[in-house]
Amino acid sequence: MKLKQRVVLLAILLVIFIFTKVFLIDNLDTSAANREDQRAFHRMMASLRVELDPRLDHTLQSPWEIAAQWVVPREVYPEETPELGAVMHAMSTKKIIKADVGYKGTQLKALLILEGGQKVVFKPKRYARDYVVEGEPYAGYDRHNAEVAAFHLDRILGFRRAPLVVGRFVNLRTEIKPVATEQLLGTFMTVGNNTCFYGKCYYCRETEPACADGDIMEGSVTLWLPDVWPLQKHRHPWGRTYREGKLARWEYDESYCDAVKKTSPYDSGPRLLDIIDTAIFDYLIGNADRHHYESFQDDEGASMLILLDNAKSFGNPALDERSILAPLYQCCM
């Protein structure tokens, strides 16, 4: 083999060697990074795991007293909550001592009082797990399991602005009807072999009751916030009109955020950033129905935006409603 050919062959082998080495190093680096990502993910999952254990060690307080002490202006529960499992266990098992129609709103719910005097909101199951809600992104009944999933996403994102939610089965005949107020009891009915109720709300109709499977009804239970933290309701600046052919200003005015920034409480403090956080949260859960929101009263704009009423979520897994993100892409903050 001539010298020139040997040099060319040696150069080719050298290039192959270098590329092989670089490729192996890259692969090793990527594998190491992937392993570290997996370890970080498992650490996060371990920190979020909740055991529904009724024991409350090192305290004589009730679960309700502990949960009430967690609430501060910028979070509903703290990052470190060793008692969380005990509180959620109490929500899913404590005896129901009173049942009434839900507080004001458009969707069916019941107000329950659990043993120890704790108020909770019960939202009944209306759809099978795999039911897809077609139509507008805010269409359909409330989804009780959406409340549960949204609460856990709030934990994952580290917002800690959503009240505690658990799933619960209740026996309407033995647990609810004996302790129901006349107002709630008057909305009970039997459809086939199933016990049903339609409650009192803006869209509640006798023709559209929520029905149990026999007497057993699945639903979500949301912990009522302490009475010492009264809520204030606000119209969401990016709310929809809910009228066909009529757009809200933000839907056609790309400079709309400039006007919002000049009005209270969005002209100072964290509220506008909370609106943007909430837009991202709502986009992830598919909630296009946040026409109002709540904060704590007399907060002068310092309170968080509380992530209440997340049940118009997870209706259609094939739909990503971009307009939910309008506060983010219009304000760019």
Per annotation, catalytic residue among 258, 289, 299, 320: 289
Dist CA 129 CA 241 (whole Å): 29
Q: Would you say 59 is a known binding-site residue?
A: no
Whole-Å CA distances, 114 to 88, 102, 126, 221, 295: 13, 15, 23, 11, 25
pTM of the model: 0.87
Under-70 pLDDT residues of the chain: 1-11, 15, 19-27, 29, 299
DSSP 129-152: TT----SSTT-SS--HHHHHHHHH
Query: Quick one: tokens of 243?
Result: 């009228």
Assess whether 53 carries a catalytic annotation: no
Burial of 79 (0-12, 13-18, 19+ CB in 10 A): exposed
Q: What is the pLDDT of residue 329?
A: 96
Per the listing, tokens 């307009």 go with 323
What single letter denotes the amino acid at residue 5?
Answer: Q
Q: What is the pLDDT of residue 31?
A: 79
Q: Would you say 238 is a known binding-site residue?
A: no
Q: Would you say 111 is a known binding-site residue?
A: no
**Is residue 329 within 8 Å of 306, Cβ to Cβ?**
no
Q: Would you say 26 is a known binding-site residue?
A: no
Around 207, how many Cα atoms within 13 Å sit in the side-chain half-sphere?
1
Q: What is the pLDDT of residue 324?
A: 97
Q: Would you say 225 is a known binding-site residue?
A: yes
Query: Quick one: tokens of 314?
Result: 């997870």
